[in-house]
Amino acid sequence: MSERKVIRRALISVYDKTGLIELGSALHKSGVEILSTGSTAKTLAAANIPVIAVEDYTGFPEMMGGRVKTLHPRIHGGILADQNNAEHLSAIADHEIAPFDLIVVNLYPFTQTIASTDDFAECIEQIDIGGPSMLRGAAKNHGSVAVVSDPSQYPRLLAAIAAGGFTQDERVMLAMETFRTTAEYDMAIATWLGEQTHTSDDWRAQVWHRISGLRYGENPHQSASVYGAPGVSGIAQAKQLHGKEMSFNNYTDADAALRAAFDHSEPCVAIIKHANPCGIATGSNVTIAHQKAHACDPISAFGGVVAANREVTVAMAKNLGEIFTEVVIAPSFEAEAITILSKKPSIRLLTIDGYTIPRDELRPISGGLLIQGSDLIDAAGDDPKNWKQVSGDPVSAEILSDLTFAWRAVRAVKSNAILLAHECASVGVGMGQVNRVDSARLAVNRAGDRSQGSVAASDAFFPFADGLQILIDAGVVAVVQPGGSVRDEEVIAAAQAAGIAMFFTSTRHFSHA
C-alpha cells in the first residue's frame, strides 16, 4: 500500500486557475506529458509549458460552446482503464488510447453563480458535466489514477511528484475527497432546482464540514465535534480571539445568546445560561445594555455566556472584567477591550461577521429530522400597531416601549415563558416550566420588588386567569400575550378587574426545545 505509482501522463482541466502555472511547471520538469482543454491549455501554453490540446488528441473539436470537449472515448478510456487488468490494457491499445496517471479537474462555479444572479439560463450553463464525469471516473479507478479536485490539494500533489508519485492509500484518500466534492456539487444543483420548481420540501440535503473536535459533549462521556455548513455565518464560523477551547455547551449557549441579542435592532446584550436568558436588555449603547441585563439576575449570570449585537467597548469590557464569564461574542471588540478581557486566561472572546438568523431550524429525532422555518420576529402580530388592546386604559409611550421589548425578548425564553421588563430590560424571567402558573411565579420571584410597575410578556396564551393573577398581584401594570384561549374572556375579565392594560398579538413565540 506504500508503493508509489509514478505519474507519467496527466489531464488538467480547471476553471479555477489558482496555482496552475506552478503545478504545470512541476509536472513538466518531472517529465509528465500534459493534456489540457480550452482556457487551461492556453494558460499553460502562454507560460511556455508544453501541453497537448484535448481536441488534437481526440481528433474531435470542442462544440456547443464547450459543452462537449472531454466526453470522448479516448479521454474516458484513458481515465477508466485499470492498468493492472490485461484485458483493459489490450482494449485501449487496440484503440490507440494511452492511460492517464493523474486527473486534475475543478468544476464550474455553480454555487457562486446562483448566489450572484437570478438568471435561470446562466445558472444552467454553470452546471459542469464533463468535469464531474472525469472526476468520478478517476476516483472510481483510483487503483490506477490519482485525482485532484481542488487547488487546496496541490501541495500534496507537488509533494507526491517530488516523492515519485502517490501511494495507494493516498489515492484512496483523494478519491474519497473527490466523491465528496461531486456529491456536494450535485446536491447544490438539486437543491437549487427544487427551489426553482417549488418542490424543495419533498427532498432536503445538506453537507457539513468538520471544523474541529471538541473535548467532549454535554457530558464528559459523550464524544463531540463542531461542523459548519458552507456559505453561512453563525456560531460555528465565529473567530476566537482569546481563551480556552470552546466546549459543546459553550457553543449551544453562545448560539442562543447570539439569536437573543440579534432579535433586537437597538444595541442589545443577552446573557445566557443553559440556553435560557438570565438577562436581556437594550440601551443607548452596549455598556448600558449589559449593565441592565446583568442586573436582572446577577447570581445566574455568574459563568454565563454574553452576546452583544454591537462592538464591545472598553467601558463594557471593564464591567465584564469584574464578572466571571465563560464566553463573550460580538461583531467586534475595541482593541483595548480585548486587552482588558484577555487578562483573564480562560474567558473566550469570539467575533462573528455578517450574522443572520438561519432561515430554517433542524432538529434530529429518532429515525428522522424535523425542519421548520425559524421563529422570526417578523409576523404581523409582532408589530405593536397590529396588537389588540382588550383591557385597561391607553398606555404611555414608555409602557408601550417596554411591552414591545418584552415581546421580542420572550421569544428567547424556553416555554412556558413569562418575562417581566422595565425600561427595556428584563427584570424577571420564568422559563421552561410545565405550566404557565409556575413560570409566572418564577418570574415574579426573580424580579422581587422590581415587579412593581413592570410589564409582562407571555409567549403563549394564558389558559386560565390564575397565571395572570400572579402577575397582577405582583404589581405588573401591562401584559402582552397572543390570546386565543377558549377562556380568553375569563382572562380579560381578570385584567379588567385589576385595571391593567392587556394586549393580544395573535402571534405565538413558543420555544419547546
Cell numbers for 216, please give them.
467532549
E strand or H helix at 3: none
| Local structure of residue 69 (DSSP, 8 states) | S
Give the whole-angstrom CA distance, residue 403 versus residue 71.
65
The packing angle between helices 73-80 and 86-94, to 10°, is: 160
Among candidates 13, 286, 213, which has minimal Cα distance to 128?
13
Dist. CA 278–CA 294, nearest whole Å: 8
Which residues on adjacent β-strands are paired with residue 364? 369
- Grid coordinates representing 35 are 493534456
First to last CA, the chain: 49
Q: Which residue is it, cell 456547443?
A: 64
Asked about 422 being catalytic, the answer comes back as no
**Nearest CA to 384 among 480, 259, 484?**
480
Peptide bond into 249 cis (omega under 30): no
CA distance 60 to 74: 10
| Options 140, 244, 318, 344, the catalytic residue | 140
Q: Which of 295, 351, 291, 346 is nearest to 324 (CA)?
A: 346
Which residue in the list 88, 244, 274, 318 is annotated as catalytic? Answer: 274
What DSSP string runs through 10-48?
EEEEESS-TTHHHHHHHHHHTT-EEEE-HHHHHHHHHTT
Pairing type for strands 418-421 and 426-430 reads antiparallel
Report the amino acid identity of residue 180.
R
Dihedral of alpha carbons 79, 83, 85, 91, sign: positive
Which are the contacts of 332, defined by CB distance < 8 A and separation ≥ 6?
A: 311, 312, 351
With 0-12 CB in 10 A as exposed, 13-18 as middle and 19+ as buried, what is 161?
Answer: buried
**Buried b vs exposed e over 16-50: b needs ≥16 C-beta within 10 Å?**
eeebbeebbebbbebebbbbbbbebbebbeeeebe
Q: What is the DSSP letter of 417?
A: -
Give, for 293, the enclosing helix (H) or strand (E): helix 286-296
Q: Is 274 tagged catalytic?
A: yes
**CA 480 – CA 411 distance, rounded (Å):** 12
Alpha carbon distance 340, 314 (integer Å): 8
Cα gap 419→448, rounded to integer Å: 13
Give catalytic residue positions.
Answer: 140, 274
